[in-house]
Amino acid sequence: MHGRPRKASEPGEDADSAAKAVKLRSLQSQFMSNHHGKIYTKVAIELSTELLKINPEAYTAWNYRKLAVEDNLSRIESDPDLVKSILDEELSVVESALMQNFKSYGAWHHRKWVLSKGHSSIGNELKLLDKFQKKDSRNFHAWNYRRFVVELTNRSKQDELQYTEDMICKNFSNYSAWHNRSVLVSSLLANRADGFMPNEKIPEELDFVHNAIFTEPGDQSGWFYHLWLLDQTVDVETPLLASSWPSHGCSIILSGPGCLNDSSSKFTTFCSESGSFPLIIYFDQAVGGVSSSTVTIDSELKGNEDLVWEPVSGKNSQVSCGWVTRMKYFSSEPIVRKEYKVKVRVGNSPGIISSRGGCNFSAPCEFFFTAHVHDAAVKDSEESIVSWTDEFDIWDAQSEDLNSFVSLGRLNAEMDLNWRQEALAKEVELFRQLSDSKIGKLTLARLLMASEAMASDDTVKGAHYEEILQLYNDLMALDSSHYQYYKDMHSVAFLHKVTSSTESLSRYLFRYRNMNNLVCLRLNNLSLSRIASVEKLLFVQMLDLSHNELHSTEGLEAMQLLTCLNLSHNRIRSFSALDSLRHVKQLRVLDVSHNHIGKHSVDTTRYLCSSPLSNSEWTQDEVGRQKPSLVTKYWDAYFVLRDMSLKQLDVAGNVIAGDEFNSFVLQVMPKLVWLDGQKLRT
């Protein structure tokens, strides 16, 4: 029972309760007999009134009253006074039921239903609400009803905004009022109502919410409103192209499967049995509408007339930051060693739309790259094992060379930056004064991250990361209940720092000698709990994330070039946590040894993985038909692994590993060559 103290019942109390119960039960059974007999006499209706006064939750009684009203109205339709008196009676029954239980869904709905019958005295509703909302200013039924009445009466949004202001000024610890304010302000901003231009209104609202946060930093009511305003300050509605692979101005080498003798360390070499390579574009926000008409490609490479663009996270999501298409580079004709220029024009015709506000991609922009198509490979490296311990060369390219791999920074930045930067700078200054409290530190860290994202001057880029990392370290100590939240944010900030300049990134870059000098990024042993900044890592072919604290591969789906991935010694709990890797079509080598797979009864990625549980997968194959019980037992391994084309897999050191599981893996992945370091076929 909500909020009722636990105590042993006193003598006499039981008898009391039993007497009340007998009375209520008798009311209920009389009511039921009226309801089933469709008896709508005055006496019968009054009986239901009495029942609802005692128990406003008796939903069938509300239904009965609606039937009774309809029955009575059908007899006296011509007399407006009688209609009014019938409906007024209903409103007064609701009112007394609400006095008994303010949270009765049935009572509130009955009131709405009565109003829908065309009752004219709607002006009273706001007065009644004022009374109720004074008594319980957080009651969400009352706030919902208020929005309903406001809409019905066409009361202006500005008047309602004033109401939220009055409520907040009375007591700023009223989250419901802040919430309603966010609904109203966002709608007024979206409609560009008079006095609601973002560059004026958002700084005003920031000032308004400061009062609440600075008066009582521990009170959460203003926190979420402030975070929303911060997002409005930083997020631009029109999408921008953030990066691509291949990037602007670079050269790549394309060949068939195998190794090239002369693969230069200056270029990325891409080999594929299918004769196609992924072309990836990445936006600063999720967009929809990327297609062969909105993105046009000009090249002599044949067979690329009707390219299909897909979100990197698979066909099901209609919007995505990352989009990929696969360009063919050899056809059936003999391959001639040749150089091709490829020009990509993004936003050629309108249609790329932001998922935020429905805004169109700003201005068309284009980039080009050069593809050197090579002929036959020299030797086949398919069968040899990939080792993560040797064969790495340190990165010897100059940072200018690296610039041609990565497109750091935005290709196209036309936005209304001034007021945003000013507002941010002001917030930073203000929140430095609050940096001894949790919300002060957290907000400051977020503000500084936002300042980094908005910095237009290269010389100040990267200046804030040390401070941000320190703030998150402080927070982990200060608010240990949310330790892991700050830890994740720390990892995000750290990866932003690593990718903030070619100089810092190159410290982690290597070449894997054995396979065409694959570009390898080694972020091992950094206690990372979260992946970030993938848009700056699209060129990476081999990724070492071993000895970290990762529990999911969310985000890696954008890294479409990834061939080898080392996740050993992390905190992966299930195969469903690897769902994003299903979309990395190039992946051949995966090490998930020494994780926590099979150790936990709760799977936190159960619903982030396509499966019959989420109604997003169910095509049965041979394995499914032959081994239904194993499929049920290892369902996530089954659905995730069967979509991958791995040659090499390591699962040792997980609770799930063992003979039964290994033999199941072999059935699901017949093309596997290496399992836990053992060659499967000769």
Report 583-612 residues binding another protein (CB under 8 A). 600-602, 604-608, 610-612
| Of the residues 274, 483, 658, 666, which one makes contact with another protein according to CB under 8 A | 483
Q: Does 635 bind another protein (CB under 8 A)?
A: yes
Q: Does 55 bind another protein (CB under 8 A)?
A: yes
Q: Smaller CB distance to another protein: residue 190 or 413?
A: 190
Residues 6+ apart with CB under 8 A from 470: none
| Of the residues 46, 71, 85, 105, which one makes contact with another protein according to CB under 8 A | 105
Cα-based angle 502, 506, 512 (whole degrees, multiple of 5) = 140
Q: How far is CA 260 from CA 257, 381, 509, 520, 565, in A?
A: 9, 10, 21, 17, 22
Task: Give the nearest distance from C-beta 605 to another protein in angstroms.
Answer: 5
Q: Is-cis flag, bond preceding 198, omega within 30?
A: no
Cα four-point dihedral sign 24, 27, 33, 36? negative
Q: Smaller CB distance to another protein: residue 272 or 529?
A: 529
Q: Strand locations in 170-319, DSSP E? A: 241-245, 251-255, 268-271, 276-288, 295-299, 310-311
* Selected range binding another protein among 81-89, 180-188, 365-373, 511-519, rule: CB under 8 A: 180-188
Task: Give the nearest distance from C-beta 672 to another protein in angstroms.
Answer: 24
* Selected range binding another protein among 77-85, 91-99, 419-427, 614-622, rule: CB under 8 A: 614-622
Sites for another protein among residues 330-349 (CB under 8 A): none
Q: Does 619 bind another protein (CB under 8 A)?
A: no
Q: Residue 178: how many CB atoms within 10 A of its CB?
A: 23
* Selected range binding another protein among 178-186, 263-271, 368-376, 669-677, rule: CB under 8 A: 178-186
CA pair distance 676, 593, nearest whole angstrom: 8
Tokens matching residue 524: 């091992």
Residue for token pair 């999911």: 552
Task: Give the nearest distance from C-beta 147 to another protein in angstroms.
Answer: 5
* Selected range binding another protein among 202-210, 336-344, 536-544, 629-637, rule: CB under 8 A: 629-637
Q: Residue 569: how many CB atoms within 10 A of its CB?
A: 20
CA pair distance 543, 522, nearest whole angstrom: 6
| Pair 317, 272: CB distance under 8 Å | no
Tokens matching residue 429: 């200054």
Q: Write each residue from 123 to 162 as x if it is in contact with another protein (CB under 8 A), else as -, in one continuous string.
A: ---------------x-x--xx--x---------------
Residues 6+ apart with CB under 8 A from 108: 94, 98, 141, 144, 145
Task: Give the nearest distance from C-beta 284 to another protein in angstroms.
Answer: 16
Q: Does 642 bind another protein (CB under 8 A)?
A: no
Task: Give the nearest distance from C-beta 492 to another protein in angstroms.
Answer: 9
CA pair distance 125, 140, nearest whole angstrom: 16
Q: Write each residue from 408 to 447 as x if it is in contact with another protein (CB under 8 A), else as -, in one continuous string.
A: ----------------------------------------
Q: Smaller CB distance to another protein: residue 365 or 577?
A: 577
Q: Does 58 bind another protein (CB under 8 A)?
A: yes
Task: Give the nearest distance from C-beta 580 to another protein in angstroms.
Answer: 11
Task: Give the nearest distance from C-beta 80 to another protein in angstroms.
Answer: 24
Q: Does 211 bind another protein (CB under 8 A)?
A: no
| Of the residues 176, 502, 516, 595, which one makes contact with another protein according to CB under 8 A | 176
CA pair distance 563, 553, nearest whole angstrom: 15
**What distance lies between CA 474 and its chain's CA centroid?**
26
CA pair distance 502, 504, nearest whole angstrom: 6
Task: Give the nearest distance from C-beta 581 to another protein in angstroms.
Answer: 15
CB half-sphere exposure, 281, CA atoms < 13 A: 29
| Pair 479, 436: CB distance under 8 Å | no
Q: How far is CA 155 from CA 120, 125, 263, 458, 466, in A?
A: 16, 12, 71, 49, 50
Q: Residues in contact with another protein, total (CB under 8 A)?
A: 85
Q: Smaller CB distance to another protein: residue 39 or 183?
A: 183
Rg of the chain's alpha carbons, rounded to an integer? 32
Q: Smaller CB distance to another protein: residue 492 or 672?
A: 492
221-241 burial string, b = 16+ CB within 10 Å, else e? bbbebbebbbebbbebbbbbb
* Selected range binding another protein among 52-60, 294-302, 418-426, 660-668, rule: CB under 8 A: 52-60
Task: Give the nearest distance from C-beta 561 to another protein in angstroms.
Answer: 23
Q: Smaller CB distance to another protein: residue 188 or 608?
A: 608
Task: Give the nearest distance from C-beta 266 to another protein in angstroms.
Answer: 38
Residues 6+ apart with CB under 8 A from 116: none
CA pair distance 344, 365, nearest whole angstrom: 9
Q: Does 616 bind another protein (CB under 8 A)?
A: yes
Q: How far is CA 424 from CA 200, 421, 443, 451, 595, in A?
A: 14, 5, 11, 7, 41
Task: Give the nearest distance from C-beta 182 to another protein in angstroms.
Answer: 5
Tokens matching residue 303: 């067979």
Sites for another protein among residues 32-51 (CB under 8 A): 32, 36
CA pair distance 567, 543, nearest whole angstrom: 9
Helix (H, G, I), strand (E, B) or coil at 421: helix
* Selected range binding another protein among 196-204, 223-231, 277-285, 510-518, rule: CB under 8 A: 223-231
* Selected range binding another protein among 4-12, 237-245, 372-380, 667-675, rule: CB under 8 A: 4-12
Q: Does 235 bind another protein (CB under 8 A)?
A: no
CA pair distance 36, 40, nearest whole angstrom: 11
CA pair distance 33, 316, nearest whole angstrom: 52
Q: Smaller CB distance to another protein: residue 58 or 240?
A: 58
Task: Give the nearest distance from C-beta 94 to another protein in angstroms.
Answer: 14
Q: Does 7 bind another protein (CB under 8 A)?
A: yes
Sites for another protein among residues 534-573 (CB under 8 A): 551-552, 554
Q: Smaller CB distance to another protein: residue 261 or 601?
A: 601
| Of the residues 132, 196, 208, 223, which one makes contact with another protein according to CB under 8 A | 223
Task: Give the nearest distance from C-beta 103 to another protein in angstroms.
Answer: 12
Q: Smaller CB distance to another protein: residue 185 or 344?
A: 185
Task: Give the nearest distance from C-beta 574 to another protein in angstroms.
Answer: 11
Q: Does 78 bind another protein (CB under 8 A)?
A: no
Q: Smaller CB distance to another protein: residue 359 or 680?
A: 359
Tokens matching residue 393: 């060369």
